[in-house]
A and B are shown apart, each in its own frame.
Chain A
Amino acid sequence: MKRRIVLGLLASVVIALAVAETFAAAPVVWPVRRARYYDWNKPYAHTAYGQPVSLVVPPTATMQTNWGWGVGSSRLERLDHQFNRNYPGGGGFGGATRTTPYWPSDTTQFGVYNVRGPW
């Protein structure tokens, strides 16, 4: 009886450890996970290219600064998105993009967005 209890306890501890190990990830993986839930771009097209343009930054970068008019519009943001080797597929992409306003009020309105280069 006692042995069964001990074995059961041992098994549950091992299972708990495994679950923790499976769902935990190293901090370097966090930005990759966060990047799945939002876009690398905002819906503004670069004036010269007609599409949002990605700017390759070092993969060691973690934060980016964007400026805007008004109180609290300049902010320090996470830089989660990173180029990888997965081919996104043939087509059917893209939505409506806006052009840069004549009087831009934010640096994201220029249509250039930072994306970290691959490791």
Chain B
Amino acid sequence: MRRFVFTTCVYSVLIAIVWQLVSTATCHADHAGWDGKRRISYQQQKDLFYNYYAQPGPFYNTPSEMYISPVPTPAHVGHTYTTYQPFMPHEYTYRHQRSYYTYNRGAGWTRTNVRYGTFGNSLRGFWSDWHYPMSNNITAVHNDFYYPGQRW
């Protein structure tokens, strides 16, 4: 009986450890990576002027920072800052949406919803590719006559 109690205790300790591992692992899995939509931003207000870095690799040992990439524009400007996280240029590079939650003492929470995308841009591309027929079989209007050099 005493032995059984001992083994049970050992098992329960093991299960506790394992549970801890599993819960942290799932927590990481929930927060890391990308599932097509980030619902809550982890950027804080104090992160506003923080930079992003590419880590130095094992062979060439060269880091890289994202802002200002590659140099300040114009050249005589010492530094340029983006003062509002949703306007940071890298946010415009892909379609996504994001919510910023900020706590202000005495005022509570604020929420900012941002959506990025190419709204109707594909349709514009479609219309720019479309050309009306400049000639048909009935009226023999040749493109080269009216629009030399252009072919549709």
Contact = CB atoms under 8 A, between A and B. Distances in A.
Contacts of B19: 18
Interface string A86-98: 1111000111010
How big is chain B's contact interface, by range? 35 or more
Contact of A38 (B50, B51, B57, B69): B57
Interface residues of A, number: 54
B25 A42 contact: no
Interface string A9-29: 011001101100110011011
A59 B94 contact: yes
Nearest to A15: B18
B146 interface: no
Contact of A95 (B29, B34, B60, B63): B60
Contacts of A51: 62
B15 interface: yes
Interface stretch (B6-14, B106-114, B127-135, B136-144): B6-14
Interface of B: 4, 7-8, 11, 14-15, 18-19, 21-22, 25-26, 29, 32-35, 38, 47, 50-64, 66, 69-71, 89-90, 93-94
Interface of A: 3-4, 7-8, 10-11, 14-15, 17-18, 21-22, 25-26, 28-29, 32, 35-43, 46, 49, 51-54, 56-60, 81-89, 93-95, 97, 115, 117-119
